[in-house]
Amino acid sequence: MTHEATAEPGAVKTAAPAAAGAPDGRRPGRGGKRRGGAGRRGSGWTPWLYLAPALVVLAGLLVYPIYQLGLISFLEYTQAQVSGGEPTTFKGLGNYQELFSDPQFWDVLLATVVFAAACVIATLAVGCALAVLLTRIRALPRLLLMMAALGAWATPAITGSTVWVFLFDPDYGPVNRVLGLGDHSWTYDRYSAFALVLFEVVWCSFPFVMVTVYAGIKAIPSEVLEAASLDGASQWRIWRSIIAPMLRPILVVVTIQSIIWDFKVFTQIYVMTSGGGIAGQNLVLNVYAYQKAFASSQYSLGSAIGVVMLLILLAVTLVYLRLMRRQGEEL
């Protein structure tokens, strides 16, 4: 009992100095938490330091060209100004007024929107259908299909366009011989020429959709699909009611990216229709801007078309980022 009685006062004596040793009466725990918070606030700049080299490179590659594009669109800039024969004059919004008052610009804009929409819908349809097919076939056919698709995806646009022009050539192409069309020219009519370019764009674009959607399907729990099959749901019903809702984030990504890619198609149209078709019947905005800037030496009008395209694609990108942010909040 004597030992216990003497131990208690000693414990009290040792605890009191520890509590009193804290500076200005604050708890040690509070001071430690405050120092940790300051460290976290200071580390907020660390990601930007890692991103700084890439941001500097992107600024040099993107910001300055966009600045020059916008500047030239407000100037009188033709071949005479390029060669230094006449001084450069400021036109303000004159180039945009001239552009928007040209009926051909609105026709080309409408054709670009319709063509891009058709390419996006066809690409998504083919890519999603083949992605579902990949989940139904054996390993060897799946591997062959994947290799063929990735080969189409890796083919340069100008090479693929040249091959497709040869396949549908009215004199030497094998497609007309197989279909019995004789010397039918696919690039003579406006709609058949657009259809031919659409085939090529879908051929080189669907692998991205196929691989992405296939990866998303494989991430869906197999028990969910098996339960739907046991309940008697058809393959279309399973896709519409189960797979598509679960793949909504992936479908949004591939759709927005396909819109951006297909809206600014240039190589396929230029190569397969010889610069925009007969009398410019197959022009899209990218080819139209090229013709104005380099074929007609109206660099200011070509820059104005480029600025309009930039604003349209920027709007699409902002919609994409907003959807991605909303989906991240939902997750």
Whole-number pLDDT of residue 103: 94
Contacts of residue 153, Cβ cutoff 8 Å, sequence gap at least 6: 204, 205, 207, 208
Whole-number pLDDT of residue 13: 44
Q: What is the pLDDT of residues 6-35, one digit of tens each?
A: 444 444 444 444 444 444 545 544 444 444
Using pLDDT thresholds of 50, 70 and 90, give the confidence band for residue 41: low
* Packing angle, helices 139-154 and 190-218, rounded to 10: 130
In this predicted structure, the answer to whether residue 209 has a pLDDT above a threshold of 90 is yes
Whole-number pLDDT of residue 157: 92
Whole-number pLDDT of residue 21: 46
Q: What pTM was estimated for this model as a whole?
A: 0.79
C-alpha 252/C-alpha 329 separation (Å) is: 15
Contacts of residue 31, Cβ cutoff 8 Å, sequence gap at least 6: 22, 23
> For 76, phi and psi rounded to 5 degrees?
-90, 100
Average pLDDT over residues 118-145: 93
Length of the chain: 331
Using pLDDT thresholds of 50, 70 and 90, give the confidence band for residue 59: confident
Whole-number pLDDT of residue 133: 92
- Closest of 124, 174, 130, 129 to residue 150, by C-alpha: 130
Whole-number pLDDT of residue 43: 65
Computed over every residue of the chain, the mean pLDDT equals 84
List 75's β-bridge partners, or say none: 90
Using pLDDT thresholds of 50, 70 and 90, give the confidence band for residue 327: low
Percentage of the residues of the chain whose pLDDT score is greater than 90: 47
* Ordered structural domains, the chain, with CATH: 105-297 (1.10.3720.10)
Average pLDDT over residues 218-229: 86
Whole-number pLDDT of residue 22: 47
In this predicted structure, the answer to whether residue 37 has a pLDDT above a threshold of 90 is no
Q: What is the pLDDT of residues 226-243, one digit of tens each?
A: 888 888 888 888 888 888
Percentage of the residues of the chain whose pLDDT score is greater than 70: 85
Average pLDDT over residues 164-193: 90
- Closest of 14, 47, 273, 320 to residue 161, by C-alpha: 273
Chain Cα centroid distance, residue 257: 3
Average pLDDT over residues 193-205: 95
